[in-house]
Amino acid sequence: MKAVRFHQTGGPEVLRYEDVDQPVPGPGEVLVRVAGSAYNPADGGMRGGFLPIPITMPHTPGYDVSGTIEALGQGVDGLTVGQDVVGFIPMTANGSAAQHVVAPADALVTAPTSIPLADAAGLPSVGLTAWQALFEAGRLEAGQRVLINGAGGPVGGYAVQLAKRAGAHVVATASPRSKDSVQSAGADEIVDHTTTSLLDAVTEPVDVLLNLAPVTPESFAALATRVRDGGVVVSTTPRVETPSDEARGVRAETVYVHPDADALSQLVRLVDDGELRVEIAQHVPLSELPELHRKAEAGQVHGKVVVVPPAG
């Protein structure tokens, strides 16, 4: 089968589109014929050797997958051959940038039926990140105010939709390029961070501050002053410490997305019920994944990109 792998860490040039043996599912695993593999910035971090995630080389990137089950390993129950599935698979294992991938059965759920199967790969890790940040870390409730900094990215799009659906008042930052998308996702207030100071724009305290964007420690600490007493600062950017304020009872939560089949199933139901929109900016053939990594490093990739392997 065809796959993209890197045999050593480095720049996008280390990625090879090559023939590899088709994997065989072990106990508790399934073999999936890949329909879509979502690109995530962490793929570039692992390829470049920047993320401390243990992998064995040669390594196939891609931890979001959608596709069709072709074989079941020993002891797998609840899944069937021919079933369309979607999942967030372990980042340490060989991933979905291939025609086939082996995945733990408990990481997969039935794919949404209301969107193309390949597009479903754009849901798992970013949808789960938004869900876990808002509801597990942030404990967001109806009637609360949430400020989402970086709402124009893939996680932000889900966060705005989920927060609005939960009955929160959503204040979101967006650039002119992403303003329409953030507005259609349901944001009540939009701050153009390219022209307006967020500190000046947000005058009423928020219950939850969710940071999804690159930020300096100084600006992050200043933003945290906009959180009400007893509120929470949630962040998905671990390179900058998430600020708290113990004197005011403001807690800090840094989110590291983890697999959660139950939550992913709920997200799939929301998609099929028309309550959650999956936006795919671009589809790229598997053979062009190295070029996609190059463009991402140059800051030329915006929105969620799904990589599509050749048929067969």
| CATH number of residue 169's parent domain | 3.40.50.720
Q: Which domain holds residue 140?
A: 126-254
**Residue 102, domain member (yes or no):** yes
187 plus 83 within the same structural domain: no
Cα–Cα distance between 108 and 106 in angstroms, integer? 6
E strand segments, 39-141 = 64-72, 84-88, 100-104, 108-110
Q: Specify the pLDDT at position 252.
A: 97
101 plus 132 within the same structural domain: no
16 plus 106 within the same structural domain: yes
152 plus 118 within the same structural domain: no
90 plus 182 within the same structural domain: no
Q: Specify the pLDDT at position 216.
A: 92
Q: Specify the pLDDT at position 279.
A: 92
223 plus 289 within the same structural domain: no
| 251-254 vs 227-235, strand pairing mode | parallel
135 plus 112 within the same structural domain: no
**Residue 260, domain member (yes or no):** no
Task: List CB contacts of 38: < 8 A, sequence separation 6 or more.
Answer: 62, 64, 65, 121, 122, 124, 125, 126, 304, 305, 306, 307
Q: Specify the pLDDT at position 51.
A: 85
**Residue 268, domain member (yes or no):** no
| CATH number of residue 289's parent domain | 3.90.180.10
Q: Specify the pLDDT at position 178.
A: 83
**Residue 263, domain member (yes or no):** no
Q: How many domains does the chain have?
A: 2
Cα–Cα distance between 12 and 292 in angstroms, integer? 9
**Residue 271, domain member (yes or no):** no
117 plus 9 within the same structural domain: yes
**Residue 266, domain member (yes or no):** no
Question: pLDDT tens string for the chain (312 positions)?
Answer: 999 999 999 999 999 999 999 999 999 999 999 999 999 999 999 999 988 899 999 999 999 999 999 999 999 999 999 999 999 999 999 999 999 999 999 999 999 999 999 999 999 999 999 999 999 999 999 999 999 999 988 899 999 999 999 999 999 998 888 888 889 889 999 998 788 888 888 889 999 999 998 899 999 999 999 999 999 999 998 889 999 999 999 999 999 999 999 999 999 999 999 999 999 999 999 999 999 999 999 999 988 999 999 987
Burial of 214 (0-12, 13-18, 19+ CB in 10 A): exposed
Q: Which of 254, 269, 286 is the last residue of a domain?
A: 254
162 plus 235 within the same structural domain: yes
The per-residue b/e assignment along 150-167, b for 16 or more CB within 10 angstroms, e otherwise, is bbbbbbbbbbbbbbbebe
Q: Specify the pLDDT at position 266.
A: 97
Cα–Cα distance between 189 and 179 in angstroms, integer? 11
Q: Specify the pLDDT at position 196.
A: 81
**Residue 264, domain member (yes or no):** no
Q: Which of 210, 239, 254 is the last residue of a domain?
A: 254
136 plus 183 within the same structural domain: yes
**Residue 201, domain member (yes or no):** yes
35 plus 153 within the same structural domain: no
168 plus 224 within the same structural domain: yes
